[in-house]
Amino acid sequence: MSRVSCGAVALSLLALGACDRVKPEAPGTKPMATGDVQAAALASYVKPGDQDQYYLFYSGGHSGQVFVAGVPSMRHIFTIPVFTPYPGTGYGYDEESKAMLGDFTWGDVHHPAASKTAGDYDGRWLFVNDNANNRIARIDLRDLKTRQILGPIPNTMGNHGSSMVTENTEYALVATRFSVPMGQAYAPIEEYATKYKGAVSGIRIDSATGTMSLGWQIMTPPFNWDLGATGKGPSVNWAFWTSYNTERATGKLETTSTQKDRDYVAVVNWTAAASAAAAGTGIAMVSGVPVIDPAKTPGVMYLLPCGKSPHGVDVDPSGEYVICSGKLQPTSTVFSFAKIQDAIARKSFTGSEDGIPVLKYEDAMVMEVPVGLGPLHTQFDGKGYAYTSLFVESAIAKWKLPPYAAGADPKAMVVDKIPVQFNVGHLVTAHGDTRHPKGDWLVAMNKMSKGRSIKTGPSIPESSQLIDITGEGKMKMVYEAYTEPEPHFAQLIHKDVLKNTIEFYPKAESHHKHAIWAASDAKVTRNAARRTVEGTVFAIRTYFEPGRIQVQEGDTVILHITNAEQARDEIHGFGLVTFDKNVVIDPGETKTLKFVARKSGVYPYYCTNFCSALHQEMQGYLEVVPRGTPLALYQNGTGLMRAPAEGRRAMQADGPHADHAGAGK
Ligand code: RUQ
Ligand code: CUA
Average pLDDT over residues 156-179: 97
Long-range contacts of 182-191 (CB under 8 A, 24+ apart): 182/155, 182/219, 182/286, 182/287, 182/291, 183/154, 183/155, 183/286, 183/287, 184/154, 184/287, 189/250
Ligand 2 atom closest to the Cα of residue 612 is 2
pLDDT of residue 654: 32
Distance 469 CA to ligand 2 centre (A): 44
pLDDT of residue 635: 62
- Rounded to whole angstroms, how far apart are CA atoms 569 and 567? 6
The pTM of the full predicted model, rounded to 2 decimals, is 0.92
Provide the pLDDT confidence category of residue 356 given band limits of 50, 70 and 90. very high
**How many CA atoms lie less than 13 Å away from 198 in the CB half-sphere?**
28
Q: Which ligand is nearest to the CA of 565?
A: 2
Q: Are 468 and 440 in contact (CB under 8 A)?
A: yes
The answer, yes or no, to whether residue 661 has pLDDT greater than 80, is no
Q: Is the CB of 327 inside a 6 Å radius of any atom of ligand 1? A: no
Total Cβ atoms within 10 A of residue 37? 17
- Rounded to whole angstroms, how far apart are CA atoms 353 and 267? 13
Which tens digit of pLDDT belongs to each residue from 108-132?
999 999 999 999 999 999 999 999 9
pLDDT of residue 639: 61
Q: Which ligand is nearest to the CA of 226?
A: 1
pLDDT of residue 22: 52
Distance 576 CA to ligand 2 centre (A): 13
What is the sign, positive or negative, of the torsion defined by CA atoms of 576, 580, 586, 588?
negative
The answer, yes or no, to whether residue 192 has pLDDT greater than 70, is yes
**Residue bearing the CA closest to ligand 2, atom 1:** 572
SS3 441: strand
Which protein residues are within 6 Å of ligand 2, measured from CB?
Answer: 542, 572, 607, 609-611, 615, 618
**Residue bearing the CA closest to ligand 1, atom 1:** 488
Q: Is the CB of 425 inside a 6 Å radius of any atom of ligand 1? A: yes
pLDDT of residue 540: 97
What are the phi and psi torsion angles at 63 (to 5°)?
-75, -15
Average pLDDT over residues 507-523: 94
Q: Which ligand is nearest to the CA of 539?
A: 2
Average pLDDT over residues 470-479: 94
Distance 574 CA to ligand 2 centre (A): 8
Amino acid making up residue 591: K
The answer, yes or no, to whether residue 74 has pLDDT greater than 90, is yes
Q: Is the CB of 376 inside a 6 Å radius of any atom of ligand 1? A: yes
Percent of the chain predicted with pLDDT > 90: 84
Distance 123 CA to ligand 2 centre (A): 31
Percent of the chain predicted with pLDDT > 70: 91
Provide the pLDDT confidence category of residue 631 given band limits of 50, 70 and 90. confident
pLDDT of residue 647: 41
Which tens digit of pLDDT belongs to each residue from 292-336?
999 999 999 999 999 888 999 999 999 999 999 988 899 999 999
Ligand 1 atom closest to the Cα of residue 425 is 2
Q: Which ligand is nearest to the CA of 110?
A: 1
What are the phi and psi torsion angles at 506 (to 5°)?
-65, 135
Amino acid making up residue 605: Y
Q: Is the CB of 111 inside a 6 Å radius of any atom of ligand 1? A: yes
Ligand 2 atom closest to the Cα of residue 539 is 1
Which tens digit of pLDDT belongs to each residue from 239-251?
999 999 999 999 9
Angle at 160 between CA 151 and CA 373, to 5 degrees: 170
SS3 626: coil
Residues 6 or more apart from 300 whose CB is under 8 A from it?
Answer: 218, 268, 269, 272, 273, 276, 292, 294
> If you average pLDDT over every residue of the chain, what do you get?
91
